[in-house]
Amino acid sequence: MSSPDPARPPTLDEVAERARVSRTVASRVINNGPHVSRAKRDAVEKAIRELGFTPNRAARALATRQSGLVVLAVSGDGPGVFADPFFGQIMVGASTALEKTDLHLVLSLATTGHGQQRLERFLQTRGADGVMLVALRGDDPLIGIATRSGLPTVFIGLPMAGTPPFYVEADNAGGARAATEYLLRGGRRRIAMITGPDDTAVGRERRRGYTEALTLAGLGPYATEPGDFMEAGGATAMRALLSTHPDLDAVLAANDNMAAGALRVLRDAGRRVPEDVAVMGFDDLPIALQTDPELTTIHQPVQALGREAARMLTDLLDGVQPEPFILPTKVVVRGSA
């Protein structure tokens, strides 16, 4: 084992070597990340003490960290972003992870051509050290902007085309499949779905899980109606489903916002929930506890998406090549199904 040069600060590589772990494990311990055994965590912490390693000092010495800023770039409608608690939870998670570093989070709502040009200039002039991209749709210009910048980039949710090397994602197809299977076990057979936007990977994956569950049950998809992830869009889709499929006995909405809109329409139509129609959402956001009845839904760890993306970006800035993350989802049973 080599000895560090006393004339310079110890490096992350030297900490990893002293602790006999990989650079990824050492970085996760330093950044308080998950999935590290107690023994390895103790070994890294011991090496840090023995070497006198100071993470912040080492970070400032990295050539790629000149601004101390990382960007969370959001594609889509600006006002809609602030109205949707999903994005607030993402920002809370990312901010929590970055509190342990010297990095500060900058939010960029690149929703127009002018906004996208401003973001591209900001990144090309090295105004930031890294980028996180969220809410990508179709052939999103943010992907090209981030790629041309040459900056470390982490995707929160997969894009429609291709699989980037660094991303954090929830098990969207598995969650929708579990939701549909739960409704089937409850005796529902005419299960409709209010889907997410067709130009988003999350919308596509949640529809896929719904379709797979019904196909495996020998039923096939019953009825789908497109939505936009907003409450008003869920209400519009629910009215359309009642018009075309009045005998439906369950609805899976691709997120909680749309499920809340669907509940409102069903109540106005005199349909009892869950006696006449069972309703399920997806995300398990605060709105799920504010509906009447409270919403049975699929929990995905939304804050963890932001937190793990920020940790992944910190690893990249430390020269560590992290592995993609797919976070688990689960059914949360309440009153609507």
Whether residue 234 is predicted with pLDDT greater than 60 in this model: the reply is: yes
Binning pLDDT at 50, 70 and 90, where does residue 54 land? confident
Q: Number of helices (H) and strands (E), helices first, in the chain?
A: 13, 12
**Who has greater pLDDT, 164 or 33?**
164
**Who has greater pLDDT, 257 or 161?**
257
Say what the alpha-carbon torsion angle 32, 34, 35, 37 is, to the nearest 10 degrees: 40
Contact by Cβ (8 Å): 314, 132: no
Fill in the amino acid letter for 62.
L
pLDDT digits (tens, 9 = 90+) for 297-330: 999 999 999 999 999 999 888 878 888 989 999 9
Q: Specify the fold of 172-299.
A: Rossmann fold (3.40.50)
Phi, psi at 54, each rounded to 5°: -120, 105
The set of long-range contacts for 109-113, using a CB threshold of 8 Å and a minimum separation of 24, is 109/74, 109/78, 109/81, 110/73, 110/74, 110/75, 110/141, 110/142, 110/145, 111/74, 111/75, 111/76, 111/77, 111/78
pLDDT at 64: 39
**Segment (H or E) for 82:** helix 78-83
Which of the four CATH numbers 1.10.10.10, 3.40.50.2020, 3.40.50.2300, 3.10.105.10 does domain 69-170+302-326 have?
Answer: 3.40.50.2300
Contact by Cβ (8 Å): 237, 224: no
Map out the domains of the chain as residue ranges: 12-61, 69-170+302-326, 172-299
Angstrom distance (rounded) from CA 40 to CA 42: 5
Look at strands 130-134 and 153-156 and give their pairing. parallel
Phi, psi at 134, each rounded to 5°: -140, 155
12-61 against 69-170+302-326: fold identical: no
Whether residue 113 is predicted with pLDDT greater than 80 in this model: the reply is: no
Please provide the CATH number assigned to the domain covering 12-61. 1.10.260.40
pLDDT digits (tens, 9 = 90+) for 6-53: 556 788 888 888 999 887 788 778 766 666 788 888 998 898 888 888
Binning pLDDT at 50, 70 and 90, where does residue 161 land? confident
User: What's the average model confidence in pLDDT over 210-229?
Assistant: 94
- Other C-beta atoms closer than 10 Å to the C-beta of 204 total 17
Residue 182: HSE in the Cβ half-sphere, 13 Å Cα cutoff: 23
pLDDT at 241: 98
Which percentage of the chain shows pLDDT scores above 90?
54
- Token pair 């090549």 is at which residue? 321
DSSP secondary structure string, 232-255?
A: HHHHHHHHHHHHH-TT--EEEESS
**Segment (H or E) for 177:** helix 172-185
Angstrom distance (rounded) from CA 82 to CA 77: 9
Provide CB contacts within 8 A for 145, sequence distance 6+. 73, 110, 116, 119, 120, 123
Q: What is the DSSP letter of 292?
A: S
**Who has greater pLDDT, 151 or 294?**
294
Mean pLDDT value across the chain = 88
In sequence order, what are the beta bridge partners of 106? 71
Residue 61: HSE in the Cβ half-sphere, 13 Å Cα cutoff: 11
Angstrom distance (rounded) from CA 177 to CA 181: 6
